[in-house]
Amino acid sequence: MKTGSKTSGQATVLYLQRDESLTHARFGFIVSKAVAGAIGRNLIKRRLRAIAKEILENHPKGFNAVIRAMPEAKGFEWNRLHQEVLSNVNAALNK
Protein backbone atom coordinates (compact mmCIF):
# COMPACT_ATOMS: atom_id res chain seq x y z
CA MET A 1 0.00 0.00 0.00
CA LYS A 2 1.36 3.38 -0.91
CA THR A 3 -0.69 5.26 1.67
CA GLY A 4 -1.75 4.40 5.17
CA SER A 5 0.11 3.29 8.25
CA LYS A 6 2.46 0.47 9.12
CA THR A 7 2.91 -1.13 12.52
CA SER A 8 4.99 -4.13 13.39
CA GLY A 9 5.71 -6.56 16.16
CA GLN A 10 8.07 -9.50 16.47
CA ALA A 11 6.05 -11.88 14.31
CA THR A 12 3.83 -9.67 12.13
CA VAL A 13 3.78 -6.46 10.14
CA LEU A 14 0.45 -4.73 9.60
CA TYR A 15 -0.25 -2.32 6.76
CA LEU A 16 -3.52 -0.44 7.23
CA GLN A 17 -5.23 2.02 4.91
CA ARG A 18 -8.37 3.86 6.00
CA ASP A 19 -11.21 4.05 3.50
CA GLU A 20 -14.44 5.36 4.99
CA SER A 21 -16.31 4.61 1.77
CA LEU A 22 -16.03 0.86 2.42
CA THR A 23 -19.08 -0.83 3.87
CA HIS A 24 -16.86 -3.47 5.46
CA ALA A 25 -13.21 -3.93 6.40
CA ARG A 26 -11.01 -6.11 4.23
CA PHE A 27 -8.02 -8.21 5.20
CA GLY A 28 -5.23 -9.77 3.18
CA PHE A 29 -2.50 -12.10 4.40
CA ILE A 30 1.09 -12.64 3.31
CA VAL A 31 2.79 -15.79 4.59
CA SER A 32 5.85 -16.62 2.49
CA LYS A 33 7.80 -19.84 2.19
CA ALA A 34 10.46 -18.27 4.42
CA VAL A 35 8.03 -18.56 7.34
CA ALA A 36 7.45 -22.33 7.26
CA GLY A 37 6.53 -25.27 5.08
CA ALA A 38 3.06 -25.64 3.62
CA ILE A 39 1.49 -27.05 6.77
CA GLY A 40 3.02 -24.35 8.98
CA ARG A 41 2.00 -21.57 6.59
CA ASN A 42 -1.58 -22.83 6.48
CA LEU A 43 -1.71 -23.00 10.27
CA ILE A 44 -0.54 -19.40 10.53
CA LYS A 45 -3.04 -18.27 7.88
CA ARG A 46 -5.90 -20.01 9.70
CA ARG A 47 -4.91 -18.28 12.92
CA LEU A 48 -4.66 -14.90 11.20
CA ARG A 49 -8.08 -15.39 9.58
CA ALA A 50 -9.63 -16.18 12.96
CA ILE A 51 -8.04 -13.08 14.47
CA ALA A 52 -9.26 -10.98 11.53
CA LYS A 53 -12.80 -12.31 12.02
CA GLU A 54 -12.71 -11.12 15.63
CA ILE A 55 -11.38 -7.72 14.56
CA LEU A 56 -14.21 -7.39 12.01
CA GLU A 57 -16.74 -7.86 14.81
CA ASN A 58 -15.20 -4.96 16.77
CA HIS A 59 -14.14 -2.69 13.87
CA PRO A 60 -16.64 -3.55 11.13
CA LYS A 61 -15.81 -1.01 8.43
CA GLY A 62 -13.58 1.66 7.05
CA PHE A 63 -10.20 0.11 6.30
CA ASN A 64 -8.09 -2.27 4.25
CA ALA A 65 -5.45 -4.25 6.10
CA VAL A 66 -2.64 -6.55 5.06
CA ILE A 67 -0.98 -8.73 7.69
CA ARG A 68 2.46 -10.05 6.80
CA ALA A 69 3.76 -12.93 8.89
CA MET A 70 7.48 -12.93 9.64
CA PRO A 71 9.48 -16.16 10.16
CA GLU A 72 9.20 -15.63 13.94
CA ALA A 73 5.42 -16.25 13.68
CA LYS A 74 6.14 -19.97 13.36
CA GLY A 75 7.13 -20.15 17.02
CA PHE A 76 4.25 -18.04 18.35
CA GLU A 77 1.36 -19.67 20.19
CA TRP A 78 -2.22 -18.55 19.47
CA ASN A 79 -2.50 -16.17 22.44
CA ARG A 80 0.75 -14.37 21.71
CA LEU A 81 -0.01 -13.99 17.99
CA HIS A 82 -3.56 -12.84 18.80
CA GLN A 83 -2.32 -10.20 21.24
CA GLU A 84 0.31 -8.91 18.81
CA VAL A 85 -2.08 -8.54 15.86
CA LEU A 86 -4.74 -6.83 18.00
CA SER A 87 -2.21 -4.35 19.38
CA ASN A 88 -0.93 -3.65 15.85
CA VAL A 89 -4.46 -3.00 14.56
CA ASN A 90 -5.33 -0.74 17.50
CA ALA A 91 -2.07 1.19 17.11
CA ALA A 92 -2.63 1.65 13.37
CA LEU A 93 -6.24 2.77 13.83
CA ASN A 94 -5.20 5.31 16.47
CA LYS A 95 -2.50 6.92 14.31
Q: How far apart are CA 35 and CA 43, in angstroms?
A: 11
Above 70 in pLDDT, residue 1?
Answer: no
Q: How far apart are CA 89 and CA 8, in angstroms?
A: 10
- Domain ranges for the chain, please list them: 5-93
Q: Which residues make Cβ contacts (< 8 Å) with residue 13, sequence separation at least 6?
A: 6, 7, 67, 68, 70, 88
- Strand ranges (DSSP E) for 11-88? 12-18, 26-30, 63-69
pLDDT for position 95: 79
Give the angle subtended at the CA of 87 by the CAs of 91 and 80, to the nearest 5°.
Answer: 160
pLDDT for position 48: 96
Above 70 in pLDDT, residue 13?
Answer: yes
Query: Which fold would CATH assign to domain 5-93?
Result: Ribosomal Protein S5; domain 2 (3.30.230)
